[in-house]
């Protein structure tokens, strides 16, 4: 050591101050923090204590954000600001919680089953290829395929053939069974309908009475119709007696030929002349074809 010794009373004061700083945590100074007085000479003891006390609060930094309470903090806290009325007993609250949990489990189970069913249906569709009818059923006959474009249109002179059912080529066994059942059911319905039509209509006593009253009124109050008058006069005339086949012997000319004589040349010419008068109605057009 070079230089003069420090007096004893100064060393004693320095030791007491160091011990006091060790005991007081406020007076501890962090070595990592910058001290503005580190480059200057050390202050006397009577001025060092107030400086440490004044600078100590500045060195303490409060934590950022809200601080936790001193007591234990529960993870979930119920907000009872909107609760009005007395609190329910603990048993009821527990039962409500159990009902809610069971309902949630039921909903989750239902959603899981629906998802599995959808996935199974999707797998079935992907596994089994389904084609449309236009790919499986042969096309119908094309009636307009052989039509000439330059030919004039007119009514068909031949009968149109009935549509042929060609579904038997592509019917599956299930389709054949279904058609057989429909055919048998249709025959049964037709037999029932025929039986109903064969049965005579049963009239009630009131209907029979009304019919008799109407017939009596028409015969007394209303005049005879023109058709009935001609029929009645024809029956009374001699022509009916002459033409009545039951009252005369068999005549080949009348019974087989209908009483018509042979076609002679004169009658043939008259018939052709009358037919020629209809050419204006059934002849071809003068202004060209329709199309």
- Banded model confidence at residue 130, pLDDT cuts 50, 70, 90: confident
Query: Region 48-54: what's the mean pLDDT?
Result: 57
CA 238/CA 244 separation, integer angstroms: 10
Tokens representing 152 are 């004039």
Counting residues of the chain whose pLDDT is more than 70, the rounded percentage is 55
| CA count, 13 A, side-chain hemisphere, 124 | 6
Per-residue pLDDT at 183 exceeds 80: yes
Between 216 and 38, residue with greater pLDDT: 216
Query: Region 90-114: what's the mean pLDDT?
Result: 78
The three-state DSSP-derived secondary structure of 239-266 is HHHHHCHHHCCCCHHHHHHCCCCCCCHH
Could you give phi then psi for residue 137, rounded to 5 degrees?
Answer: -90, 130
Between 168 and 288, residue with greater pLDDT: 168
Highest mean pLDDT among 98-107, 188-197, 261-270: 98-107
Contact 106, 113 (CB under 8 A): no
Tens digit of each residue's pLDDT (9 = 90 or more) over 132-149: 777 777 766 555 555 565
What mean pLDDT, rounded, does the chain reach?
71
- Banded model confidence at residue 59, pLDDT cuts 50, 70, 90: low
Among 71-80, 153-162, 229-238, the range scoring the smallest mean pLDDT is 71-80
Query: Region 95-120: what's the mean pLDDT?
Result: 85
Tens digit of each residue's pLDDT (9 = 90 or more) over 3-44: 777 777 777 877 888 887 776 554 454 444 455 555 667 777
pLDDT value at residue 109: 92
Name the region of 258 (left: φ>0; alpha: ψ -120 to 50; beta: rest): left
The tokens 């290829």 sit on which residue? 129
Tokens representing 142 are 């094309």
Q: pTM for this one?
A: 0.20
């Amino acid at each position: 050591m070079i230089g003069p010794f420090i007096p004893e009373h100064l060393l004693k004061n320095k030791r007491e101050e160091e011990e006091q700083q060790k005991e007081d945590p406020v007076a501890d100074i962090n070595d990592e923090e910058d001290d503005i007085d580190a480059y200057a000479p050390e202050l006397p003891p009577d001025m060092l204590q107030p400086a440490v006390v004044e600078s100590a609060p500045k060195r303490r930094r409060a934590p950022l954000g809200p601080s936790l309470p001193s007591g234990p903090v529960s993870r979930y806290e119920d907000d009872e600001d909107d609760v009005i009325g007395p609190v329910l007993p603990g048993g009821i609250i527990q039962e409500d919680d159990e009902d809610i949990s069971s309902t949630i489990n039921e909903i989750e189970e239902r959603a899981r089953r629906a998802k599995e069913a959808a996935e199974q249906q999707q797998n079935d569709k992907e596994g089994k290829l389904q084609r449309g009818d236009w790919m499986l059923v042969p096309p119908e006959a094309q009636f307009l395929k052989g039509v000439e474009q330059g030919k004039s249109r007119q009514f068909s002179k031949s009968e149109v053939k009935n549509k042929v059912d060609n579904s038997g080529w592509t019917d599956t066994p299930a389709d054949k069974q279904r058609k057989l059942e429909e055919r048998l059911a249709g025959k049964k319905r037709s037999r029932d309908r025929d039986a109903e039509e064969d049965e005579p209509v049963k009239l009630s006593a009131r209907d029979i009475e009304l019919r008799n009253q109407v017939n009596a009124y028409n015969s007394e109050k209303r005049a005879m119709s023109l058709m009935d008058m001609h029929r009645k006069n024809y029956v009374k005339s001699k022509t009916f007696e002459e033409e009545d086949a039951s009252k005369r012997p068999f005549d080949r000319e009348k019974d087989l030929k209908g009483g018509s004589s042979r076609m002679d040349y004169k009658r043939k010419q008259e018939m052709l002349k009358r037919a020629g008068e209809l050419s204006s109605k059934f002849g071809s057009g003068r202004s060209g074809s329709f199309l």
